[in-house]
Amino acid sequence: MVLAVPVSRYVVAYTAKLVRATRPADPTAPDFIREMVEWGAGPRAGQHLILAGKALAAMAGRAAVGIEDIRAAAAAVLRHRVATNFAAEAAGLDSVAIVQRLLKEVPEPPVRRFAGAAVEA
């Protein structure tokens, strides 16, 4: 049943953007990721974030995965896929703190409005 929960391209795009931003070598990564992360999440992290989002949406009785489901699952899914370096340890930050900060910095993809309906940009 969980596997059948639909996911929009909008949510998939946000998930991919979030996962890519965990990688210090990625040009979209925020400066604090480049400074405090040794290595970031791979493609399977995105797949598991989507799957966790589907489970959260299903448990909440929603018909589709929303950005809030991905954000709610992010720390649990990414915490063991993001390896911090000495700079993060010296600042007292673990991978969960890094993911939580990343959630504040990675914006949702823009949504265009057309004739009253949301359309992916």
The predicted structure's pLDDT at residue 113: 59
69-121 pLDDT, tens digit each: 999 999 999 999 999 999 999 999 999 999 999 999 998 877 665 555 555 54
15-62 pLDDT, tens digit each: 999 999 999 999 999 999 999 999 999 999 999 999 999 999 999 999
Q: What is the pTM of this model?
A: 0.87
Instruction: Count the Cβ atoms, other than its own, within 10 Å of residue 53.
Output: 29
52 closest CA partner among 31, 26, 78: 78
What does the DSSP assignment read for 77-90?
Answer: HHTTT-EE-HHHHH
CATH second-level architecture of 2-120?
Orthogonal Bundle (1.10)
Average pLDDT of the chain to the nearest whole number: 92
- Sole residue written with tokens 């974030």: 49
Domain boundary assignment for the chain: 2-120
71: left (phi over 0), alpha (psi -120 to 50) or beta: alpha
